[in-house]
Homo-oligomer: A and B are copies of this chain.
Amino acid sequence: MAASVLNSVLGKLEMVSTSDHASVVSMTLFVALLCACIVIGHLLEESRWMNESITALFIGLCTGFVILLTSGGKSSRILVFSEDLFFIYLLPPIIFNAGFQVKKKQFFRNFITIVLFGAVGTLISWVIISLGAKQFFKNMDIGFLDVGDYFAIGAIFSATDSVCTLQVLNQDETPLLYSLVFGEGVVNDATSVVLFNALEGFDIKNLDHTIALSFMGNFFHLFFTSTMLGVLTGLLSAYIIKKLYIGRHSTDREVAIMMLMAYLSYMMAELFYLSGILTVFFCGIVMSHYTWHNVTESSRITTKHAFATFSFVAEIFIFLYVGMDALDIEKWKFVSDRPGTSVAVSSILLGLILFGRAAFVFPLSFLSNLAKKTPNEKIGFKQQVTIWWAGLMRGAVSMALAYNKFTSSGHTHLQGNAVMITSTITVVLFSTVVFGLLTKPLVSLLLPKQSGSTASSDPVSPKSPFTMPLLERGHNGHPDEVDTDGDRIARPSSLRLLLTTPTHTVHRLWRKFDDTFMRPVFGGRGFVPQVPSSPREQQNF
């Protein structure tokens, strides 16, 4: 009897949560707002000060305000935030697209520096923010927070959002800087989420050497297995499409396989409690290196633009939601009686972010410069400042982690948690809007377009034989355009390169391995028997 009553209650609840007409209303409104963001973002594109993220934030804020007024101050949200929505549907396309569109050669050439910034740097920033927060907050009356909470705060505020900076930086003018900021952004996201998840599983309260060691072991294990899972899934997709040559029958099937396999890699990582972000990122890299070349030309165009579109929409969706959620009355009423505390907490966090990032960008740049031989490859001071600035914005990952930690399904009931949520919102809004709007003037001040310093940021010497094709191809936005000059490395001038830059040797060994063992099995560039005329030229629409 009790079971059947429970069953019917459960059934009713499920119906209310899914079949309600209200959910149709909110979805319609949300889709309409997404359209509005795209159109307005397009209109504002001429002035590159405003980007889509800030537009979406503002539209979200306005909508939240209107809903707040019409609902008589009851609620400002039309969708309850769920980490699942974010981590299962919105984040995977963004990260996969990042891996799919990354300029692989630049990325792997600066791989060590990127990992240094993204992993070691994030760990440094995490420690500084955690300890700083513990130090400052323990004497403030903001409700109870334990050691685990402080470490979580460190992880939450170590997750950067470099979208604003990347929109301002020019990939062709400053390739080194672009690849560093971009690569660091991805590795940083992954590191923060891995840190956050690793923390969740550990009993931080009784911290000792064994636990710290096993924590580090767990961290590196996660890093390695997640990467391998992504690589393997990507290779599997390449193998299937090459072996069956699906495009002979249908382009749609190829596109479907690529999308589903990419998503599968993410879900498998989540299934095995690994880092889906890392997995899907490396799956994207492998797919763009092998799978993408095994499909028909129309599948290539479709996947390239479809993945970019998903990522684009997911990003706008997140910022729109963050803007709308910022006015949610439930969280603010906990802090409304002491607005000073909230401002103080947010300011302290912003200060810690500024300091925590400076504390690793400049020392690690110095370290990285020590390993470089030629002055052209070193990271100049102005570039260091740009890198520092690029990682000051906090975005959707911070929000999602904060919601995960301090709310249960979008609702807060403890004062300490409410304070942390409102502070996160404040930090995200402030850093995205204020730091974001300052990025363009700062970059044009530090890296003027006519100056020689911009050109010198190219790690390849301007006289090198493969600079020109690299720059030429930079415009069509091919996922792998820089790979096309791979064969040129074996030319006479490579002896000098071999001596001065050891990464080129690694690259050459990899090319050899790739050509001998990988490509015969997994396809890759030049595999598919295409129409005789090169399809490359046709693609520059």
A: which residues have CB within 8 A of B? 4, 7-8, 10-15, 17-19, 24-25, 27-28, 31-32, 34-35, 38-39, 41-43, 45, 82-84, 88, 240, 244, 246, 249-253, 255-257, 259-261, 263-264, 267-268, 270-271, 296-299, 301-302, 304-306, 308-309, 312-313, 408-409, 411, 413, 531, 535, 538-539, 541
Q: Are B267 and A31 in contact (CB under 8 A)?
A: yes
User: Distance (Å) between the CB of A19 and the closest chain B CB?
Assistant: 6
Chain B residues closer than 8 Å to A34, beta-carbon distance = 256, 260
Q: Are B31 and A251 in contact (CB under 8 A)?
A: no
Contact pick for A408, options B11, B240, B252, CB 8 Å: B11
User: Distance (Å) between the CB of A78 and the closest chain B CB?
Assistant: 13
Q: Are A28 and B309 in contact (CB under 8 A)?
A: no
Chain B residues closer than 8 Å to A252, beta-carbon distance = 305, 308-309, 312
Q: Are B246 and A409 in contact (CB under 8 A)?
A: no
Q: Are B19 and A255 in contact (CB under 8 A)?
A: no
Cβ-closest chain B residue relative to A296: B541
Chain B residues closer than 8 Å to A27, beta-carbon distance = 88, 267
List 25 interface pairs A-B (beta carbons < 8 Å), by A numbering. Answer: A10-B13, A12-B408, A14-B17, A18-B409, A19-B409, A24-B267, A24-B270, A25-B271, A28-B267, A28-B271, A31-B264, A35-B264, A42-B246, A43-B244, A251-B308, A252-B309, A255-B306, A256-B313, A296-B541, A298-B541, A301-B301, A301-B302, A302-B305, A305-B306, A306-B309
User: Distance (Å) between the CB of A541 and the closest chain B CB?
Assistant: 4
User: Distance (Å) between the CB of A66 and the closest chain B CB?
Assistant: 18
Q: Are A257 and B541 in contact (CB under 8 A)?
A: no
Q: Are A312 and B256 in contact (CB under 8 A)?
A: yes
CA distance in complex: A39, B14 (Å):
35
Cβ-closest chain B residue relative to A531: B541
Contact pick for A257, options B11, B35, B267, B535, CB 8 Å: B35
CA distance in complex: A409, B13 (Å):
10
User: Distance (Å) between the CB of A4 and the closest chain B CB?
Assistant: 8
Chain B residues closer than 8 Å to A14, beta-carbon distance = 17, 82, 409
Contact pick for A309, options B82, B84, B255, B541, CB 8 Å: B255
Q: Is the interface of A mostly helix, strand, loop or mixed?
A: helix
Q: Are B305 and A298 in contact (CB under 8 A)?
A: yes
Q: Which 3 residue pairs spanning A and B have beta carbons closest together?
A: A302-B305, A297-B541, A28-B267
Q: Known contacts A24-B271, A39-B244, A408-B11; decide if A32 and B264 are in contact (CB<8 Å).
A: yes
User: Distance (Å) between the CB of A5 and the closest chain B CB?
Assistant: 12
Chain B residues closer than 8 Å to A308, beta-carbon distance = 251-252
Chain B residues closer than 8 Å to A408, beta-carbon distance = 8, 11-12, 15
CA distance in complex: A39, B245 (Å):
11
Given A302-B302, A538-B538, 13 new contacts (CB under 8 A): A4-B413, A11-B408, A19-B84, A24-B267, A31-B260, A42-B244, A42-B249, A251-B308, A253-B312, A256-B312, A259-B313, A298-B301, A299-B305
Most buried by B among A11, A267, A531, A538: A267
Chain B residues closer than 8 Å to A263, beta-carbon distance = 31
User: Distance (Å) between the CB of A285 and the closest chain B CB?
Assistant: 20
User: Distance (Å) between the CB of A468 and the closest chain B CB?
Assistant: 24
Chain B residues closer than 8 Å to A305, beta-carbon distance = 251-252, 255, 298-299, 302, 306
Cβ-closest chain B residue relative to A262: B31
Q: Are B409 and A11 in contact (CB under 8 A)?
A: yes
Chain B residues closer than 8 Å to A304, beta-carbon distance = 302
CA distance in complex: A298, B271 (Å):
36
User: Distance (Å) between the CB of A116 and the closest chain B CB?
Assistant: 32
User: Distance (Å) between the CB of A270 and the closest chain B CB?
Assistant: 5
Most buried by B among A250, A251, A413, A541: A541
Q: Are B260 and A38 in contact (CB under 8 A)?
A: yes
Q: Are B409 and A28 in contact (CB under 8 A)?
A: no
Q: Are B298 and A11 in contact (CB under 8 A)?
A: no
CA distance in complex: A535, B43 (Å):
28
User: Distance (Å) between the CB of A512 and the closest chain B CB?
Assistant: 32
CA distance in complex: A240, B38 (Å):
11
Q: Are A309 and B24 in contact (CB under 8 A)?
A: no
Cβ-closest chain B residue relative to A539: B298
CA distance in complex: A38, B260 (Å):
10
Q: Are B411 and A268 in contact (CB under 8 A)?
A: no
CA distance in complex: A299, B420 (Å):
43
Chain B residues closer than 8 Å to A302, beta-carbon distance = 301-302, 304-306, 309
Most buried by B among A240, A249, A255, A260: A260
Q: Are B82 and A18 in contact (CB under 8 A)?
A: yes
